[in-house]
Structure 1
Amino acid sequence: MPRAPRRQSDEARRGAYKPRVDFSRSRRRREDGLLALRRLNRDTGLFKRRRDEPAPAVPASDLTPTRAEAAPFAGITRPAFTPSSPPDVAAPRDAAESELEGLSELVDKLCSDDTTSQLEATIQFRKLLSDEKNSTVIKIIRADVLPRFAEFLSRHGLPQLQMEAAWVLTNIAASDYTLLVAECGAVPRLVELLGSLNANIRHQAIWCLGNIAADLPSCRGILFDHGALTPLLSQFREGMKIPVLRTAMWALSNLCFGKLPAEVQVKPILEIISQLIHSADEKILADACWTVYYICGDKGDAVQDVLDAGVCPQLVNLLMHASANVLLPVIMALARISAGDDKQVEVAL
């Protein structure tokens, strides 16, 4: 007599047709995918940004804040067009190569007590860094001049020297050697420069900090340890020029990537995001949405903080946005919000 087939238990039968979802493993897989995407984007220059355009003039008299600069952030206004600064003609390639060969002479000028020589040498280093080759960066790093550039950031009576030194460090931080910039003593000085009365210097400091934040978690940890978040948030003011606002939003987004320190409060960040998420500027909008996505995945109560900030209705509206650069972070942010409890999902929808 044939034996009756063994009956599977209900549990085994359910497992055969609908495997259980390991939520922790799924989340790790998503995070690994995001990290891989971020590394790929970094290689294409999305998360780290070099500065190659001419330097704006930084007159010593430009040390008084305008009313717009001094006022707290209350919205976005597009500034009137102003002519660009005269071009700063870079040295020809053969001249740049000869300067690189005579690096020791530049180092001597950089380490001298003469401020004119210091400025001239810093400008030459900045021009050398217009060559994106790693070999150029490596030679400059081996010259052990990074601490000297960090020192120049504190020369408050010499704004042009501060500006050029910050620019040099910005482009080195855009390379594969970001950690060296983070550890050379520049970070506390860059954070201090966020309180500068000179708008150009503040912008360059934001840019450099944004490149540092785009690197390793240890680099972001150094920024948090030196209290970079609060002065960065204070940069969002009414009447900010759009390029500065883009840089600040990009830097804030980079700083929020990964696990935030336990003491960080996300509500002040979301207060700014709740306004910038209505921006007409695509780059600002995309980075604001990425920031929401990062925050939602960090802490257990972060989704509720996002809901309380009232950004969900606008996120839903942005599903109709024409740009894929905006749609991707919007969809990912809404996906994370919808992973909350039933009540949170109901509020989001």
Structure 2
Amino acid sequence: MGCGASKAAEVLPGQAADNVERKEHAIAAENGTDVANAPGGRQLNKVSSQLGGKTVQNSFVVQKTRSRNKRATEEALGDSIPTKVERDPNWDFKEEEPLNKDAANAFQLPAESVVVAEPGMQGPAISGPSFKMARGAQAQILADLKSKGQMQDVPANKEKLSSSDPDVVMEGVIYFREQLSVVNPPVSAVRSSGILPTLVKLLGEVHNSKLQYEVAWILTNICSAEHEDCAAVVDQNAIPIFVSMLRNCEETDVLEQAIWALGNIAADCTELQRAVLDEEVVFPLLECMERHMAHPSVLRHCAWLLSNLCRPKPQEDVLLDTIPMACRIIASSSDQEAITHACWALKYLTGAPHGLDVLSEVPELEATLSKLVAWIEEATSILTIPSLRTVVNLCSGSSRNMQLIVDAGALSAMLACLDKCDRLSLKKDAVWALSNVAAGTCSQVEAMARAGAFPKIIALLHGNEEALKRECAFTLANPWASNVGISPDVADLLIKDGVLKELVDLLDLSVDTSIVKVAIQGLQEATKRGQQMMRDEANKQMAEGQEEPNVSNRIAEVIKEHGALDKLHELLASTEEEVYFKANGLKNILAFL
């Protein structure tokens, strides 16, 4: 069954544009507890742990969200059904469900020899693997430090840093590196000792790679601590040196440590993320990734830095130039961690203005979408979350972008995810994406029907997950909008799937009024679509020579057969004025037809 000629999209009454932005917003706190005064809108929680003989101190981002209003106000929408809607790039789900242990293991430190602590895993569940991370010490060093005690010889070792003897300097550097590679390291005490200017100077010793490596390790761990510690390193003008190391460093272990330090700085707060971007880090980073595509450890460090530079939304358009590289990693890399970080980076980047335009021109787009769809279908993959949220971004774009994900098999993948997944946040994402596809084109609605999407949505409406029901209602209402322009054949598919019956069943005083209003609007649009189909059929019959066309509004008849008039009459008892007027208006229309 085809859809016939495609209608040109039209702007619905009261709708400012084809895309209506969801009025959702996330708030968070930065570096502590005061949400109202928090710069950058993030709260960093510090966690340290010792796993497998390695010590890790980990700071992760927790976003706190307030109540959601996923559609624009009724005043902005007028009497129309919203069609495609954009997710606010600041929006995210509440911290309500911890990741399972398999997912937790995905968000590892971007180094082969260190494992990240698992602090309830709220961080990656909210905003991805955007951690600040300290590098741990070997087990023997930890044991030696425990027996010796910490911070016993700071003055003597501080003096060593200024020695003219390179070996003595190295002794002092190693001392401080070991002090900062333990559980609960004395970062503030080391910073307060006044050694940072000397350390940053030593970082520039390009002819002594071992010294650079040790110093970069120290600065990495300082940057993983409190904001004041990280800012102190930045104040000593360390960022330009680290960026120059991206361009010029040939020793991979030193290079990785420089990338690691930049990742910690970018993860600290919006201001320090901006400071890294102001040093024009993007192109050196891309060049570094290009040089080391065959080196998994360097590549995963770079992908992790890229993710931190983009989180929670890109501050500069130049970051969009990294989209092809992120897709290349997803499509062709075999390193799980690098792919994980690239997926989160792509999620952030496609949520930025023009991000989808750049993505649509990427040579590896088809291979990338194929991988994303496969991870969505797995439902329990560590890559399901960023993959699904990237697809959500695509579904918030143009009909062309939505067609890309339809062609990639995303519809069946999202339906499989709804079957397999227990995480409410993932189900919200999947239904949200489906509701936007339902507001796409006639052929896209037909693809949804043939994939079995509407019976699945109806089943969710009858389930116990209240948070999904309003979005499910939109998924059933959106196909009838005039700018979708579904054909009679596709309308028959929807009727067969019980879409109109379910919308009528939602006309009940016991149902949430926001859902009732969606149902009323959907039925009103369906009735209008039926009228248009009736006129088109009448014109066709007259063109064939029939003087008195035999036509009727089939859709209105089906709606009335399901008891809509009685249900609308019952809604007139609603205490909400808007429900009363909408119900009365639709009742009068149906009674007239």
State how far apart, in whole Å, the 2-side matches of 1:297 and 1:334 are. 10
State how far apart, in whole Å, the 2-side matches of 1:34 and 1:215 are. 21
CA positional deviation for 1:182? 2.4
CA positional deviation for 1:91? 6.1
Q: Which of 187, 195, 211 is equivalent to 1:137?
A: 187
Q: Which residue of 1 aligns with 2:179?
A: 128
2:295 corresponds to 1:266: no
Secondary structure of the residue aligned to 2:205 is coil
State how far apart, in whole Å, the 2-side matches of 1:151 and 1:321 are. 49
State how far apart, in whole Å, the 2-side matches of 1:208 and 1:40 are. 23
State how far apart, in whole Å, the 2-side matches of 1:256 and 1:102 are. 41
Q: Which residue of 1 aligns with 2:295?
A: 241
CA positional deviation for 1:185? 1.4
**Higher relative contact order structure (alpha carbons within 8 Å, sequence separation ≥ 6):** 1
**Contact 1:292–1:306 under 8 Å retained in 2:** no
CA positional deviation for 1:308? 1.9
State how far apart, in whole Å, the 2-side matches of 1:295 and 1:332 are. 11
CA positional deviation for 1:101? 2.8
Instruction: Write out aligned runs for 1:1-349 (5 A).
Output: 23-28=21-26, 31=90, 33=92, 40-41=122-123, 47-53=131-137, 89-90=141-142, 92-94=144-146, 96-98=148-150, 100-133=151-184, 136-176=186-226, 177-194=229-246, 195-236=248-289, 237=291, 240-267=294-321, 269-278=322-331, 279-299=333-353, 301-309=354-362, 310=365, 311-321=368-378, 323-349=380-406
Does 335-344 or 164-173 show the bigger shift?
Answer: 335-344
For each residue in 1:118-139, what CA deviation from the matched residue of structure 2 results, as whole angstroms up to 9, or x when unmatched? Answer: 21111010000112325x0110
CA positional deviation for 1:167? 0.5
Which letter does structure 2 place at the counterpart of 1:255?
Answer: L
**Contact 2:292–2:298 under 8 Å retained in 1:** no
State how far apart, in whole Å, the 2-side matches of 1:33 and 1:116 are. 51
Name structure 1 gaps, 5 residues minimum: 1-20, 55-86
Tell me the number of residue pairs that the alignment of Structure 1 and Structure 2 aligns: 294
**Contact 2:252–2:298 under 8 Å retained in 1:** no
Q: Which residue of 2 aligns with 1:59?
A: none
State how far apart, in whole Å, the 2-side matches of 1:239 and 1:297 are. 26
CA positional deviation for 1:95? 5.0
Secondary structure of the residue aligned to 1:157 is coil
Which letter does structure 2 place at the counterpart of 1:129?
Answer: L
For each residue in 1:96-118, what CA deviation from the matched residue of structure 2 results, as whole angstroms up to 9, or x when unmatched? Answer: 525x0321111111233332222
The structure richer in strand per residue is 2
Give the TM-score normalised by the residue count of structure 1: 0.75
Identity level (%): 25
**Contact 2:350–2:394 under 8 Å retained in 1:** yes
Which letter does structure 2 place at the counterpart of 1:319?
Answer: I
Against the structure 1 CA distance between its residues 263 and 344, is the aligned structure 2 distance closer, same or farther, given a 3 Å change threshold?
Answer: closer
Q: Which residue of 2 aligns with 1:67?
A: none
Against the structure 1 CA distance between its residues 338 and 36, is the aligned structure 2 distance closer, same or farther, given a 3 Å change threshold?
Answer: same
Larger radius of gyration: 2
Against the structure 1 CA distance between its residues 324 and 263, is the aligned structure 2 distance closer, same or farther, given a 3 Å change threshold?
Answer: closer
Which letter does structure 2 place at the counterpart of 1:49?
Answer: M
C-alpha RMSD over aligned residues: 3.1
State how far apart, in whole Å, the 2-side matches of 1:341 and 1:290 are. 22
For each residue in 1:56-91, what CA deviation from the matched residue of structure 2 results, as whole angstroms up to 9, or x when unmatched? Answer: xxxxxxxxxxxxxxxxxxxxxxxxxxxxxxx97456
Against the structure 1 CA distance between its residues 34 and 247, is the aligned structure 2 distance closer, same or farther, given a 3 Å change threshold?
Answer: farther
Against the structure 1 CA distance between its residues 173 and 306, is the aligned structure 2 distance closer, same or farther, given a 3 Å change threshold?
Answer: same
Secondary structure of the residue aligned to 1:150 is helix
CA positional deviation for 1:173? 1.2
Against the structure 1 CA distance between its residues 35 and 127, is the aligned structure 2 distance closer, same or farther, given a 3 Å change threshold?
Answer: farther
Which letter does structure 1 place at the counterpart of 2:244?
Answer: E
State how far apart, in whole Å, the 1-side matches of 2:339 and 2:129 are. 18
State how far apart, in whole Å, the 1-side matches of 2:158 and 2:242 are. 22
Does 241-250 or 35-44 show the bigger shift?
Answer: 35-44
**Contact 2:141–2:178 under 8 Å retained in 1:** no
CA positional deviation for 1:218? 0.9
Against the structure 1 CA distance between its residues 324 and 200, is the aligned structure 2 distance closer, same or farther, given a 3 Å change threshold?
Answer: same
Does 325-334 or 29-38 show the bigger shift?
Answer: 29-38
State how far apart, in whole Å, the 2-side matches of 1:247 and 1:145 are. 27
Give the TM-score normalised by the residue count of structure 2: 0.46
Against the structure 1 CA distance between its residues 35 and 231, is the aligned structure 2 distance closer, same or farther, given a 3 Å change threshold?
Answer: farther
Secondary structure of the residue aligned to 1:227 is coil
Against the structure 1 CA distance between its residues 322 and 96, is the aligned structure 2 distance closer, same or farther, given a 3 Å change threshold?
Answer: farther
